[in-house]
Every structure is written in C-alpha cells, then in structure tokens.
Amino acid sequence: MPTAAQLIEMAAHTARLIPEEQSIEPYLSSRGLEIFNNIIGEMGGAHVTIPYQSVVEFNLVPGQQTYSIGPDVSYDVNTQQIIGILDCYVTNNQVRYPLVPIDEKMYRNIVYPLSQGIPAMFLLRNFNTYSEIFFQPVPANIFAATLICKQRLTQVSFNTDLTQIPPQWILALKFMIARDFMYYYGLPVDPSFIARVEKLYANLMAENVVDVTVEKTELISRNRFYYPYILGFF
C-alpha cells in the first residue's frame, strides 16, 4: 500500500498528466496533496468516514477516569478522533488486562462509578471533532492503555502511511484525485471515466458505516440477567 505521495503520483499517471515512466514534479505533488485533502474534507462534510485503522497508546493516571482524544495539544491524547475501538487493553507490570466496551445505559447502572481498581470496561463518547473514553473502575495505578481503533482521517501529508486503508478505498481515492487533476488542468474527461469514479464511490457508500458508536458483542450488548449484579461490585 502507498504513502499519500505515492498515491498522488499514481493518480497523476492515471490522469495522464505525466508518462508512466516519469516521476511526478514537486509542483504537481503539491497540487495533488491539496486535491487529496479537499476530497477528504468533502467526505467528512457528508459524514463519510474513510476507514483508517491504527494503534493508539497512552498512559492512564491514578484517579483519572476520563481522557479526551483530539487533534491538538489541548486534549489528553493528541491524535485524530477515534470513531470506533476494535480492541482495548491496559498493561501494568507486564500483565495485560483486556477491557470490554459498555454503552451509556450500562455506564449509568454502575453503582460505584468512582471506585478505583484495575480497569475492566470502557465507554467511548464521540463529539464533532473529538472523543472521550471513560475507564471503569477508575485506574488506581499507572497503566499503559492500548487501543486498536478506527480513527477519522481528516488530513494527510506526503508521508502519511495509507497501509491500513482498505484496497477498494485506495482505488477509489486514486481515481477521484485523477479526476480532479483533470478538472483542474482542463483536460478532457471521458464519460466512461466519470462513470467508473461514480461507481467506485457508490460502492464505498454502500459499505460506509455512518454510526460512530462502539460495536459491542452479543454478550455485552444484550441485557443478560447477571450483568447489573456484576456492575454492582465495582
């Protein structure tokens, strides 16, 4: 899978701005990066999320239950917004403790929400530009938290690694960048090319998950008789 710079060069070849054997010029790369980020911004405005899986690591502080996650230093964890968590665990003294996701109702049913101990559950809350993650019980010691998650891709640089983006998205993005290259430089665009771009985009929309809540397994999402009893011990 390519970096953003490599994808832009592939798009320039697809648009026939440069021959296949020729490397892209810096000015063309810069224009392509602007086009790429404009496409990402337009998708975000339409609530379309480019699947971008990554690993986020940070330390839990004793007594701190909530951690904000956002794209600048004002947040506890400075990274792109998390839209879904696939796996979560904390580590202390080389011992790994897996955590399970809970929803808002389960969180409200916790009898002692401020009790401290080894985190066993987490709640993810999403807002427009940032996320919050709650750990329960509240960490009693320093833990290293690891999240395998899907993040919102809001901007790329030349060196952005696109390895974790699915191949069908890479293909569609290449054709979208190529199309906008053609529009920008006033090149003729064949109707069959536009039709292919629209088809690729429609396929992505068919699989796009708009709901940004955490997916829960059947065990966690169903209201089983013993779960409130377990929560009462925390």
Give the pLDDT score at 233: 39
Q: Which two tokens stand for residue 212?
A: 């940004």
Helices (H), the chain: 4-14, 26-45, 104-108, 167-184, 191-207, 218-221, 227-231
CA-based nearest residue to 14, from 163, 199, 196: 196
Instruction: For residues 43 and 115, state if they share a domain.
Output: no
Q: With respect to residue 221, please indicate whether it lies within any of the assigned structural domains.
A: no
Residue that finishes a domain, picked among 88, 121, 152: 152
Instruction: For residues 111 and 67, state if they share a domain.
Output: yes
Burial of 55 (0-12, 13-18, 19+ CB in 10 A): exposed
CA neighbours closer than 13 Å in the CB half-sphere of residue 178:
26
**3-class DSSP assignment, residue 175:** helix
CA distance 90 to 60: 9
Instruction: For residues 44 and 90, state if they share a domain.
Output: no
Q: With respect to residue 217, please indicate whether it lies within any of the assigned structural domains.
A: no
Instruction: For residues 69 and 141, state if they share a domain.
Output: yes
The pTM score is: 0.69
Phi-psi region of 63 (alpha: psi -120 to 50; beta: other; left: phi over 0): left
CA distance 73 to 81: 13
CA distance 119 to 112: 13
Task: Tell me which residue range forms the domain holding 137.
Answer: 51-152
The secondary structure of 80-118 as a DSSP string is SPEEEEEEEEEEETTEEEE-EE--HHHHHT-S-TT-EES
Instruction: For residues 9 and 96, state if they share a domain.
Output: no
- Block means of pLDDT (10 residues each) for the chain, 234 residues, are 91 95 94 96 83 91 97 92 93 97 95 95 92 97 96 88 90 97 95 95 77 39 37 42
Q: How many domains does the chain have?
A: 2
